[in-house]
Structure 1
């Protein structure tokens, strides 16, 4: 028998945040409903209570994606849609957020094509591969005209308008925990992860009805005060996206890999959703100066985080 070398690696998710919708199991048609139910029965939920993050499952998704890129024949896009989902159990109800990896990969390709230099794009993904992916997507769209992603992703920042569905009371910060052997946390650039323990997480979780109500109120106030502003356009985009899902869904904003970028002190101090709420209250009360101050400070703070993508 040949000697086998086992290489153990530590994978952290990329510096990206995620906005997710978890629909109740009953909202899914068959055979999807039976598939998710069977998966939950075999593997259990990723989060069995509202205050528990799905960070471990996020790492699993990242490892699966890296395995595809590191294969003998690297795959720029998945050949078939993922059969996995994030599962949350709240008050005895199972909520499902499908990974929809293939659909999200197509969207990421569109973003790359819109923002990357042509030379870099051609090197990373040759024109022939892009054309094949686009043709594949058009065929898929014809068969799934109402398809929409359950997950939106933002790299290197949380867009300010993503905080609109949430309040400070919806915030949950879980520090990196100790491993089963008692090992302490590993502090990298940010919150770290315990060796063998749970990864750090910062997320917001709220019922869909409350999320829609907050976004609608914010949109009305912003449209009257600044109809051409970025925040009002962001509120409209988020509001339209939320309307695509079951009214009894859950909405989650997950800082994802940004916890490793921001660091424990900044995570503990971060109250972005609450600050945006304060600014909107000031705006509805007619205190435009205070609303502008709050929004300006929040925007500048997240632009500083975004600027880190250019650091070496």
Structure 2
């Protein structure tokens, strides 16, 4: 359980992340050397520092939310193994690529007049100028982080169980983050079993396509990786969260032909997140 100020994080929209942390041997020699020289930093402090940098980009006088060119940042997950020892796993932030993808998504969702206020054209041109096309293509093929604002996609709940390894961040009496993690091989097995069950019992559900896409993404990483669901500030609204259990029970009920049980599990899950959706609309 980590403690520390979370002022910057609490000024950003509640955002969940699904991340894949790979072992050191999954990286090339240059990256391995860099990772071995990383200064130890508590995870809560790292998240707060990254949030401060994000706020500076958003609030600077000359509007430009894109990150500057610089050294890659790596999150470090110390996952417990045998005999209570932990092993470090690494997740590159790939911020430049993710910021570019987010801007492209806004381009499809926002009116041009409003988009130009959020992301001025000179800022987009400058980002395109400094973007390394080879690095961008490599990141797209091996993107370690998926992001969701004001909610958690259903398929992410299949990836984790409520009794997986958990890390909690608190700021005084306020919960500002919860992270659940599990080995990638275990997560892949969960996702594949859920997808196979839905393919037989509920092939019309959108969740089946989402699980298939999730499995395809996870298969691009090293077998010895670890998958992490980071609730971020959403943890304050829902933790302790029984959503993974409810979704699992719902899928099991469908397999057993128990439509009432499946409906009850889905109702519990959606009711739990209704308050979060209301907060999102009010913001």
Indicate the TM-score class for this superposition, using the shorter chain for normalisation.
0.7 to 0.9
Residues 203 and 253, structure 1, Cα contact 8 Å, conserved in 2: yes
Among candidates 87, 92, 95, match of residue 76 of structure 2:
87
Deviation at 1:307, TM superposition (A): 3.0
Using the alignment, how far apart are the partners of 1:233 and 1:135 within structure 2?
36
Given candidates 93, 98, 109, the residue that maps to 1:99 is: 93
For the residues of structure 2 that align with 1:306 and 1:82, how far apart are their CA atoms?
36
Q: Deviations for 1:228-280, whole angstroms, at most 9, x for unmatched residues?
A: 322112111211111111111111101102134x1xxx423x21111111112
Distance 1:135 1:288 in 2: 55
Counterpart Cα distance in 2 of 1:79 and 1:147: 22
- How far apart are 1:284 and its partner, in Å? 2.3
Distance 2:263 2:130 in 1: 45
Contact persistence 1:22–1:97 (CA under 8 A)? yes
Partner of 2:107: 113
Change (3 A) 1:134 1:283: farther
Post-superposition offset of 1:285:
2.2
CA-CA distance at 1:301 after TM superposition: 3.2
2:40 matches 1:44: yes
Alignment correspondent of 1:206 = 182
Which deviates more from structure 2 when the two are superposed, residues 134-143 or residues 146-155?
134-143
Q: Give the CA deviation at 1:129.
A: 3.7
- Alignment CA distance shift 1:214-1:126 (3 Å): same
Kindly state the Cα deviation for residue 45 of structure 1 after the two structures are TM-superposed: 5.3
Separation of aligned partners in 2, 1:157 and 1:143: 28
Q: Which runs of 5+ in 1 are unaligned?
A: 1-7, 47-53, 179-184, 186-191, 193-198
Which moved further from structure 2: 21-30 or 8-17?
Answer: 8-17
Q: 1:176 to 1:246 in 2, by over 3 A?
A: same
Alignment of 1:283-302 (within 5 A): 283-302=254-273
Find the counterpart in structure 1 of residue 191 from structure 2.
215
Shifted more, 144-153 versus 131-140: the winner is 131-140
Q: In 2, Cα distance between the equivalents of 1:228 and 1:137?
A: 40
Aligned residue among 152, 157, 164 for 1:163: 157
Question: Residue 254 of structure 1 is aligned with which of 220, 226, 230?
Answer: 230
- Structure 2 CA distance, aligned partners of 1:165 and 1:9? 27
Distance 2:189 2:113 in 1: 45
- From 230, 245, 248, the counterpart of 2:206: 230
Please tell me whether residue 69 in structure 1 is matched to residue 58 in structure 2.
yes
Indicate the RMSD between aligned Cα atoms, in angstroms. 2.7
Structure 2 CA distance for aligned equivalents of residues 141 and 150 of structure 1 = 14
The Cα offsets for residues 49-71 of structure 1, whole Å up to 9 and x where unpaired, read as xxxxx333211111112223344
User: How far apart, CA to CA, are the structure 1 residues paired with 2:131 and 2:100?
Assistant: 7
Q: Which of the numbers 254, 261, 267 marks the counterpart of 2:239?
A: 267
Alpha-carbon distance change, 141 to 44 in structure 1, aligned in 2, over 3 angstroms: closer
Give the helix-richer structure, 1 or 2. Answer: 2
Q: CA deviation at 1:34?
A: 0.7
Distance change in 2, residues 1:114/1:146 (3 Å)? closer
1:235 is paired with a residue whose SS is helix
Residue in structure 2 matched with residue 130 of structure 1 by the alignment: 124
- Residue 149 of structure 1, aligned match among 143, 146, 153: 143
Aligned to 2:239, what secondary structure does the other structure show? Answer: helix
C-alpha displacement of 1:216: 0.2
C-alpha spacing 1:30/1:144, structure 2 compared with 1 (3 Å): same
Aligned residue number for residue 82 of structure 2: none
